[in-house]
Amino acid sequence: MFKKLVPFNSQKHAGKKILSIDSYQFAENTHIASLLVNEFRRAAPVYPIVFLKDAEDQYGSYALFGLEQGENLFIDAEGRWNVGYIPAIIRRYPFALGKGEGQDQFLICLDEESEFISESEGQPLVNEDGKPGEVVEKAKEFLSELYKSNQLTSRFCKELEEQELLTPLNMQIKGKGEEKAINIAGCYGVDERKLNELSDEKFVQMRKNGILPLIYAHLISLAQIERLVRLKNEGVSR
């Protein structure tokens, strides 16, 4: 999705402007994206919510946009996102958070090669006084909120791991006219049997911590895999 992500710099990016996003073609090859816990309720009726391990073997929650790598079934040929809710990780574009030198230090970054960065039109990234423009300040606020939500998401995933509730979701899906099934591997989901076997004390504690609604949203969302199969068979994305 990002072509050239660099830290925002008031001097380097003086004179640059940013256009309003009128197309999501930048995400047309994004088949999966990070999803925050405060998005589960709005995302569950649209996308399958699954869990994946990162390079550090830590679990994270994600929304599936396609059944294969490089496939986003929610974007049409004109670049329109064809469902009502778009995950925050997509809406932040062309901005992102990057890590600074300190452990808890973060930098505002942007995609220098984004089609929404302009020399002549749009909102200025840097004001005439050399300070970050309004669009950068708003992006900073938005990314700050995403960072806080990401901490909650990490704790949620950690709780699922500690309770040994996550199990591999090995799904084989055959598209229309395809002889060979698509194997969706590497995804994890909550094991309902293990969830039901939790002690009453642990179950109540998870309810008090607000974890149960998130688990149920995830479980309900898995029915949206059928939506992905239908969209793929209809060929609506391209």
The pLDDT score that the predictor gives to residue 93 is: 96
Per-residue pLDDT band for 170 (boundaries 50, 70, 90) equals: confident
Over residues 176-191, mean pLDDT:
78
- The total domain count for the chain is 1
Looking at per-residue confidence, does 175 or 201 come out higher?
201
State which residues form the domain around 191.
Answer: 5-234
The pLDDT score that the predictor gives to residue 141 is: 95
For the beta carbon of residue 20, count every other beta carbon within 10 angstroms. 9
Q: What is the pLDDT of residues 3-31, one digit of tens each?
A: 999 999 999 999 999 999 999 999 999 99
Longest dimension (CA), the chain: 62
Per-residue pLDDT band for 238 (boundaries 50, 70, 90) equals: very low
Mean pLDDT, the chain, rounded, equals: 91
Q: What is the pLDDT of residues 39-82, one digit of tens each?
A: 999 999 999 999 999 988 999 999 999 988 999 999 999 999 99
**Residue 102: pLDDT over 90:** no
The string of DSSP letters for the chain reads: --SSEEE--TTTTTT-EEPPP---GGGTT--EEE--GGGHHHHTTTS-EEEEE-TTS-EEEEEE--SSTT--TTB-TTS-B-SS---HHHHTTTEEEEE-SSTT-EEEEEETT-TTEESSSSEESB-TTSSBPHHHHHHHHHHHHHHHHHHHHHHHHHHHHHTT-EEE--EEE--TT-SSPEEE-S-EEE-HHHHHTS-HHHHHHHHHTTHHHHHHHHHHHGGGHHHHHHHHHHT---
The pLDDT score that the predictor gives to residue 176 is: 62
The pLDDT score that the predictor gives to residue 68 is: 87
Per-residue pLDDT band for 237 (boundaries 50, 70, 90) equals: very low
Q: What is the pLDDT of residues 128-168, one digit of tens each?
A: 999 999 999 999 999 999 999 999 999 999 999 999 999 99
**Residue 96: pLDDT over 90:** yes
